[in-house]
Structure 1
Amino acid sequence: MTRTVGPSSQPEAESATSPKDVAPAVALHTGTSDLRALFTRNLRTSGIYIAFVAIVALFAVLTDGRSLSPGNITNVVLQYSYILILAIGMVMIIVAGHIDLSVGSVVALTGAVSAILVIQQGQPWWVGIVAALATGLLIGAWQGFWVAYVGIPAFIVTLAGMLLFRGLTLEVLGNISLSPFPSEYGRIASGFLNGLIGGNGYDAFTLLIFGIAVVGYAVSQYRTRVARLRYQQPVESFPLFVAKILAVAAVVMAFAWQLANARGLPIVLIILAVLIMVYGVVTRRTVFGRQVYAIGGNLAAATLSGVKVRAVNFWLFVNMGLLAAIAGIVFSSRSNGAQPSAGQMFELDAIAAAFIGGAAVTGGVGTVVGAMVGGLIMAVMTNGMTIMGVDQSVQSVVKGLVLLLAVAFDVYNKRRAGASR
């Protein structure tokens, strides 16, 4: 028997669910859902920034403000810049689903090659730089060949490379240290740009450069927001957007003020900033960058989509060799020489920076900026504990626990996301 609804019952149904009453609730629900989705999607990255600020504040209290002094902030930039350079390449390797255990040995070998040419043979300082870069590219091509075209897992290839290149470093140096480099070479990691000294002793040039950088960041973020709105993607409210820009500007300019009151703008910081900008564009706005994420996210789908997986993997390791060579130049410049033991444990610091900065263990997730924040977290913790006089053994325990918690948080997020589907 079929039940019919008479005309008299229709007004009751309409009055119970009147569009006039439902529309505000639907709009409110949609806005809340978008905000919740936006927060959930950015929880990992936002959490890293919050953790970084909290760690900086914690060590500022524990060291009675010494960790935030102008001189110490400058030293942090100089001492950990090469780890951040390595982290740029390492996060790309990890996003593609690989790992590189050889970068510390490559740092040592490229620095040794430069030292042999410049210190021992008396070649111009720039010849050592070119030779180190060429060595890094050759090493990257060597490892990329075995990974991409022979099919040996990157873990095995780079583990062999760690032993191979450390042995070559000992052979090149004859198991002795070489020093010193010419002053021009030393300025790469220890030089400063401080051409405009203000009346109170601060460097106005540093403040000017950072001010320009803040304006550029604000313009870039505004253009990104407009583009997302054009495609009807969820974004934060405009007051929240402005507050975020102002917060970033305040932190950056406070950092610039500390540098300006020390020795000015470190040259190595300029090198690092250029690398961050270049690789930020490469990973987000180029075909190669999208292919790297596609390979790490779903190898089978990437292959079926026409991605040349072997070529991408090959060039990833060539790029890692190049960045390891740059880090080797910076480290040898900083230490004013080449030592057989240079670069030990650098690979672990770079891997830790990538994972703490949000890279996923399974690949497909990670950013250059996140790796930089992860590296800075490690740098601030190490520097703060050193100021406090904490033993190296305890420092290793703390850094190991931080890395473990970062990866555990990543696994937890994945399980939660899988359970919600």
Structure 2
Amino acid sequence: MTTTKRSSTPATGSSGGASAAALHAGTSDPRTLILGNLRQSGIYIALVVIVGLFAVLTDGVSLSPGNITNIVLQYSYILVLAIGMVILIIGGHIDLSVGSVVALTGAVSAVLVIREGHPWWIGVLAALAVGVAVGAWHGFWVAYAGIPAFIVTLAGMLLFRGLTLRVLDNISLSPFPAEYQQVAAGFLNGLFGGQGFDAFTLFIGAFAVAGYAVAVFRTRVARIRYEQKVESFPLFVARVVLVGAVVMAFAWQLAHARGLPIVLIVLAVLVLVYGLLTRRTVFGRQVYAIGGNLPAAMLSGVRVRTVNFWVFVNMGFLSAVAGVIYSSRSNGAQPAAGNMFELDAIAAAFIGGAAVTGGVGTVVGAMVGGLIMAVMSNGMQLMGVDQSVQSVVKGLVLLVAVAFDVWNKRRAAGAR
């Protein structure tokens, strides 16, 4: 899908010339189209295949408006965790404690709001503050004390699970007030009217498609201007049309259910912000540099300790966001909340294309990986598959994803 064809417009040319070149650059060679960008395109193909498979196996129930809404509500907190996890993995780290932090932050919020009667937003702010403090705790030991992240966060998994039990006195707390529940269970519906559907949801979907099309075209123009590899223009158009069709179909189903979930808006904002952070900022490039080649990053003047500290602070913050969403979704706090969430987040990052050695991965890829896990889990639940079988399938999918990453690297090395 990629090529080394150079732009007919010099790098210093006008944007209009680059835009014209963007209409003709690329290649239609079948082998290049299939293999040239296999790492990035494979997960999207896998998602489409899995969605189609479960649509057939469940007689279309998995694609019903109500079920699609349930997938968004049930797995949103895993997708939030996957954003922070993929950034950590890109930087060459991992966090095994996020499930315990989800439980602790939800517990702190529940104690303040349910037991002590504070306003719901006090609980949210307190949960976020605790998450940031946990991230700073991990960041200190990893970045400044030099202890491997695996050990620090393994200790944190035990430490913060124990603190959760202490905070809750080993009992569950519920229910939250209605305002708090709206975080994960609220919807925006009826703002633009519509007969039998929510027009506002369709408007947001169309706006997202238009924004995506403009963004990817500008990226294509910029790459051509700097004589970088791009896909052929027909393939580029096909990709934009396909993504647009999928997004609008998704919005159509939501519009015919309960409207636009508030938690989906939160997730979309996070994806947009962190997508820009990782791709467009100095901090994001430094994270990639540290994970890709630590000695070179240090020689280039990257403040490795500072960057490592802040990626853990960020992970703590996103764990708290996930904790608020999960406690809102479950309408309470439980001592066992967040169990195994860290494994789901790690799996989403690796299935989405992150490399075990660091330096590779994207936020969007992690989202797709998380959606693959969500669709698989939801589909198997609709089919009544035993929980033990579900775990086996998830484990095999993760193993295949990592094996594919290893094979792809060897293929690329052989090509050189």
**When the two structures are superposed, what TM-score results if normalisation uses the length of structure 2?**
0.92
Q: Check whether the contact 1:35–1:234 (CA below 8 A) recurs between aligned residues.
A: no
**Cα offset, 1:196, TM superposition:** 3.5
Partner of residue 48, structure 1 = 43
Out of 282, 287, 306, the residue aligned to residue 311 of structure 1 is 306
Q: Check whether the contact 2:26–2:230 (CA below 8 A) recurs between aligned residues.
A: no
Partner of residue 127, structure 1 = 122
Name the CA distance, whole Å, in 2 between partners of 1:134 and 1:360.
31
Matched, 1:172 2:164: no
Partner of residue 256, structure 1 = 251
Which shows bigger deviation, 411-420 or 30-39? 30-39
**Cα offset, 1:233, TM superposition:** 1.9
Q: Which amino acid aligns with 1:351?
A: I
Q: Check whether the contact 2:174–2:332 (CA below 8 A) recurs between aligned residues.
A: yes
Q: Check whether the contact 1:354–1:371 (CA below 8 A) recurs between aligned residues.
A: yes
Q: Check whether the contact 1:107–1:324 (CA below 8 A) recurs between aligned residues.
A: yes
Out of 320, 325, 329, the residue aligned to residue 325 of structure 1 is 320
Partner of residue 342, structure 2 = 347
Partner of residue 372, structure 1 = 367
Q: 1:90 is paired with a residue of what secondary structure?
A: helix
Name the CA distance, whole Å, in 1 between partners of 2:168 and 2:87.
31
Name the CA distance, whole Å, in 2 between partners of 1:366 and 1:55.
21
| Correspondences of 1:41-120 after superposition (within 5 Å) | 41-120=36-115
Deviations 1:113-164 (A, max 9, x none): 0000000000000000000000000000000000000000000000000000
Partner of residue 296, structure 2 = 301
Out of 208, 211, 228, the residue aligned to residue 203 of structure 2 is 208
Out of 391, 394, 410, the residue aligned to residue 396 of structure 1 is 391
Q: Which amino acid aligns with 2:125?
A: V
Name the CA distance, whole Å, in 1 between partners of 2:97 and 2:349.
16
Out of 138, 143, 163, the residue aligned to residue 143 of structure 1 is 138
Name the CA distance, whole Å, in 2 between partners of 1:84 and 1:31.
34
**Cα offset, 1:402, TM superposition:** 0.1
Structure 1: gaps of 5 or more residues = 1-29
Out of 172, 180, 184, the residue aligned to residue 179 of structure 2 is 184
Q: Check whether the contact 2:65–2:254 (CA below 8 A) recurs between aligned residues.
A: yes
**Cα offset, 1:37, TM superposition:** 6.0
Name the CA distance, whole Å, in 1 between partners of 2:367 and 2:37.
17
Distance change in 2, residues 1:146/1:38 (3 Å): farther
Partner of residue 269, structure 1 = 264
Q: Check whether the contact 1:214–1:249 (CA below 8 A) recurs between aligned residues.
A: yes
Out of 127, 151, 159, the residue aligned to residue 156 of structure 1 is 151
**Cα offset, 1:243, TM superposition:** 1.6
Structure 2: gaps of 5 or more residues = 1-24
Q: Which amino acid aligns with 1:158?
A: T
Distance change in 2, residues 1:38/1:264 (3 Å): same
Deviations 1:297-320 (A, max 9, x none): 000000111001000000000000
Which shows bigger deviation, 213-222 or 106-115? 213-222
Q: Check whether the contact 2:105–2:324 (CA below 8 A) recurs between aligned residues.
A: yes
**Cα offset, 1:239, TM superposition:** 2.2
Q: Which amino acid aligns with 2:356?
A: V
Q: Check whether the contact 2:131–2:319 (CA below 8 A) recurs between aligned residues.
A: yes
Q: Which amino acid aligns with 2:409?
A: K
Alignment: residue pair count: 392
Alpha-carbon RMSD across the aligned residues, in angstroms, is 1.5
Name the CA distance, whole Å, in 2 between partners of 1:39 and 1:318.
40
Q: Which amino acid aligns with 1:392?
A: Q
Name the CA distance, whole Å, in 2 between partners of 1:382 and 1:247.
25
Distance change in 2, residues 1:349/1:59 (3 Å): same
Deviations 1:47-99 (A, max 9, x none): 00000000000000000000000000000000000000000000000011111
Distance change in 2, residues 1:200/1:31 (3 Å): closer
Name the CA distance, whole Å, in 2 between partners of 1:33 and 1:296.
34
Q: Check whether the contact 2:108–2:123 (CA below 8 A) recurs between aligned residues.
A: yes
Distance change in 2, residues 1:31/1:81 (3 Å): closer
Name the CA distance, whole Å, in 2 between partners of 1:116 and 1:266.
26
Identity, % of aligned pairs? 79
Name the CA distance, whole Å, in 1 between partners of 2:229 and 2:294.
29
Q: 2:171 is paired with a residue of what secondary structure?
A: coil
| Correspondences of 1:235-254 after superposition (within 5 Å) | 235-254=230-249
Deviations 1:171-200 (A, max 9, x none): 000000000000000000000001236553
**Cα offset, 1:415, TM superposition:** 1.5
Name the CA distance, whole Å, in 2 between partners of 1:236 and 1:197.
38
Partner of residue 290, structure 1 = 285
**When the two structures are superposed, what TM-score results if normalisation uses the length of structure 1?**
0.91
Name the CA distance, whole Å, in 2 between partners of 1:223 and 1:289.
20
Name the CA distance, whole Å, in 1 between partners of 2:242 and 2:343.
32
